[in-house]
Structure 1
Amino acid sequence: MSSSDDNEDLAYEYDFTSLKGTKYQELEQKFSTKINDSFIRLPTLANSAISKIKEIEKKNDENRIRFKDKGDRATVELVLDRRTRIVLFKLINSEKISEIFGCVSAGKEANVYYAINTSQQEFAIKIYKTSILVFKDRHRYVEGEFRFRHGYARHNPRQMVAMWAEKEMRNLKRLQVAGIPCPEPLFVKQNVLLMSFIGRDAKAAPRLKEVGFGGRVEEFYRQTVDLMRDMYHKCKLVHADFSEYNLLYFEDRVYVIDVSQSVEHDHPQALYFLRRDCSNINDFYKKNGAAVLTVQGIFNYITDITESSDEIRWEKAKSTEEISDAVFKEIYIPRTLQELQETGQDESIFGKLTGVSKKPQTNEEDQSLSESDENPNTEDQDKKKHGDILYEGLSKQERKAKVKEDKREKRKSKIPKHVKKQKMKKTKH
């Protein structure tokens, strides 16, 4: 049998789809012991054999039908599939981290793992789920947002999750710039996000739900509401899932986490998400014995742009008792001044949001208003059209002739259209 026949037998003896090249083999052999979990092992071959197989595969690539195996998509803990492990191996190879340990938190959209580097610095690795997507209503937080105006790969789960990870990276950077306590984002690749670790000695900071506040419950209530206001005004973001499960307590401060679903304040649903966040925080602190404000009071405190002092704004929020919480949670929120006028809502409810405040009327203004009410035709008499003044005293035919003559004279001094375009181009440059 010739050597070419041997090559053909060798080509059909191995499953080429399961071998992704020497790069993956080298990374796995070198760093697989650094990830402390049970991974699916791959058969190892000599480098010469792998090179030979790759040559044959390249020659027959156009004529061969590829078959995918379930092993390519197999995951550990719903997140650690083949592609994710390659990203983790590259993180270790680039010395960003040196070792990965167990899972410290598991949620509906991602798992968080504890990792360290060679200098024992602590990190958190957030790996988003790609196999079974429990969080299925992502489109509510993406549709209508300017950052995703070109689409977000709704029908491709892996691309959608990668975009979701990148969105959280950007949102965390905004929070970092604004000085809001949160994990520091360091690196993102596909569905893997590397962040600083909130905690100490491999022990993660507790969620706000697990903290006993004692007599300081109102202090932390105010601190939490201030975080929401800072996110809205400094970062132009609404968290959209602001609750005791997405807040950490560490070193006497409240930290914000899980901002992947956060939306910009001009998102179509942003104000509805903000109202829901206010309700969640009120319900939590009310259970812990805090003297909470009304939901409308917190909403006005966060969105108010008329007052410069936080203390004045807080005192005004305390005295907000226009409507009950049950009604405010269901009321329609206008987004523009036109909608506010069309719906006929009282400006006292959403006046702080629009920035429109009613000025107190003086005695002179009250007197002028009363006079205008008594004589409603005076304003109409004073306001005459420009044409009525210009052609006053002319008959209908004379008026038409005068209008035509004026237009004819105006056309004589009119700039030609092509000249006007040239001048506009010159001014632009």
Structure 2
Amino acid sequence: MEDLQEIIASFGEKEITITVGDIVKTGKEAIVYKAYLNNELTALKVYKDYNTRAFTDNKGYIAGKYIKKPSLRKATMKKTKVGKDFIHEGWVKREYVMLNRLFSKGCSIPKPIASVKTAILMEFIGNEAKTAPKLKDAILNASQAQTTFELIVENMKKFLDVGVVHADLSEFNILWWKEKPYIIDFPQSIDVKENTNAESLLLRDVNNVCKYFSKYIEINETEVYESLKHILDDFVIYGRNPNFN
């Protein structure tokens, strides 16, 4: 993993001066720190090196046309050093692009601020005293669960409106703060027009979300999936959701 001082210096080259505080979360793919930009609390997500990250299944990612150059696609499949370096740096860039794409459409995600080679600076969900808990750790009543579930499905529709499937959505990467869900972790998200696994990945997201909320409320999973798949099919056919402005 790139040294923190090198990351701070890289932001400095973009005239973004940050100071880094305590670790907020250590995950399978990245470490998140408190960071301060003009005395404002933000989150700094620093990716672990490819070889130390738990995420190793690149098939869904490689299936897309994101990797245009055949030699790079081959290198990533064989996991050569060139391929690993490309995936490592591309994962960060990919997440930042997706965050901007979705935030601009009003999705409930942390606001992206800036990125460098191996890190992303974004809005901090929580405050100085408390980091927003993951949804899996939140305790909801039935009313909160119903509202939160509907908000998450609405966000999944917004993702599809711009041709995106999260592809790893569950209670583990949704934060809960001030009665509102914030969806996080987008490096594995996919463009539905460039990935042949879009339908199966959408179904998996729906399964995960419905399974979690079914302990609180009654859910017709088939109905939820069909409402989302309709948007997916429109996007694949028309290149956009014809009902989305």
- TM-score (normalizing by structure 1): 0.49
Q: Do the aligned partners of 1:207 and 1:246 also contact (CA within 8 Å) in 2?
A: yes
Post-superposition offset of 1:92: 5.2
Post-superposition offset of 1:252: 2.2
Whether 1:115 and 2:42 are equivalent positions in the alignment is no
CA distance in 2, matches of 1:196, 1:202: 15
2:64 paired residue among 145, 154, 168: 145
CA distance in 2, matches of 1:170, 1:220: 26
Post-superposition offset of 1:251: 2.5
Between Structure 1 and Structure 2, how many residues are aligned? 224
> What SS does the aligned partner of 2:16 have?
coil
Matching residue's letter, 1:126: K
Residue in structure 2 matched with residue 88 of structure 1 by the alignment: 8
Post-superposition offset of 1:278: 0.7
Matching residue's letter, 2:5: R
CA distance in 1, matches of 2:155, 2:209: 12
CA distance in 2, matches of 1:281, 1:162: 29
Residue in structure 2 matched with residue 134 of structure 1 by the alignment: 54
CA distance in 1, matches of 2:28, 2:52: 10
CA distance in 1, matches of 2:31, 2:188: 16
Q: For each residue in 1:307-348, what CA deviation from the matched residue of structure 2 results, as whole angstroms up to 9, or x when unmatched?
A: xxxxxxxxxxxxxxxxxxxxxxxxxxxx99xxxxxxxxxxxx
Deviating 4+ runs (over 3 angstroms): 92-95
Q: Which has the larger radius of gyration?
A: 1
Q: Do the aligned partners of 1:112 and 1:127 also contact (CA within 8 Å) in 2?
A: yes
Q: For each residue in 1:36-59, what CA deviation from the matched residue of structure 2 results, as whole angstroms up to 9, or x when unmatched?
A: xxxxxxxxxxxxxxxxxxxxxxxx
> What SS does the aligned partner of 2:46 have?
strand
Q: More relative contact order in 1 or in 2 (CA 8 Å, sep 6+)?
A: 2
Post-superposition offset of 1:95: 5.8
Residue in structure 1 matched with residue 136 of structure 2 by the alignment: 209
Residue in structure 1 matched with residue 166 of structure 2 by the alignment: 239
Matches within 5 A, 1:290-305: 290-294=217-221, 296-305=222-231
CA distance in 1, matches of 2:224, 2:13: 48
Structure 1 residues 85, 285: CA separation in 2 closer, same or farther (over 3 Å shift)? same
The more displaced of 182-191 and 253-262 is: 182-191
Whether 1:259 and 2:186 are equivalent positions in the alignment is yes
Matches within 5 A, 1:392-411: none
Structure 1 residues 114, 92: CA separation in 2 closer, same or farther (over 3 Å shift)? farther
> What SS does the aligned partner of 1:89 have?
helix
> What SS does the aligned partner of 2:52 have?
coil
Post-superposition offset of 1:239: 0.5
Matching residue's letter, 1:110: A
CA distance in 1, matches of 2:188, 2:29: 11
Q: Do the aligned partners of 1:172 and 1:259 also contact (CA within 8 Å) in 2?
A: yes
Matching residue's letter, 2:212: F
1:124 paired residue among 29, 35, 43: 43
Residue in structure 1 matched with residue 110 of structure 2 by the alignment: 183
Residue in structure 2 matched with residue 225 of structure 1 by the alignment: 153
CA distance in 2, matches of 1:158, 1:103: 25
1:104 paired residue among 18, 21, 24: 24
CA distance in 2, matches of 1:97, 1:201: 19
> What SS does the aligned partner of 1:220 have?
helix
Structure 1 residues 202, 190: CA separation in 2 closer, same or farther (over 3 Å shift)? farther
Q: Do the aligned partners of 2:29 and 2:47 also contact (CA within 8 Å) in 1?
A: yes
Matching residue's letter, 1:100: V
Matching residue's letter, 2:224: I
Q: Do the aligned partners of 1:229 and 1:303 also contact (CA within 8 Å) in 2?
A: no
The share of aligned pairs that are identical, in percent, is: 26
1:272 paired residue among 177, 197, 200: 200
CA distance in 1, matches of 2:10, 2:45: 15
CA distance in 2, matches of 1:199, 1:180: 17
Q: Do the aligned partners of 1:221 and 1:290 also contact (CA within 8 Å) in 2?
A: no
Higher strand residue share = 2
Residue in structure 2 matched with residue 10 of structure 1 by the alignment: none
Structure 1 residues 97, 290: CA separation in 2 closer, same or farther (over 3 Å shift)? farther
Q: Do the aligned partners of 1:114 and 1:202 also contact (CA within 8 Å) in 2?
A: no
> What SS does the aligned partner of 1:148 have?
coil
Whether 1:248 and 2:161 are equivalent positions in the alignment is no
CA distance in 1, matches of 2:14, 2:103: 25
Post-superposition offset of 1:202: 5.0
In structure 2, the gaps of 5 or more residues are none
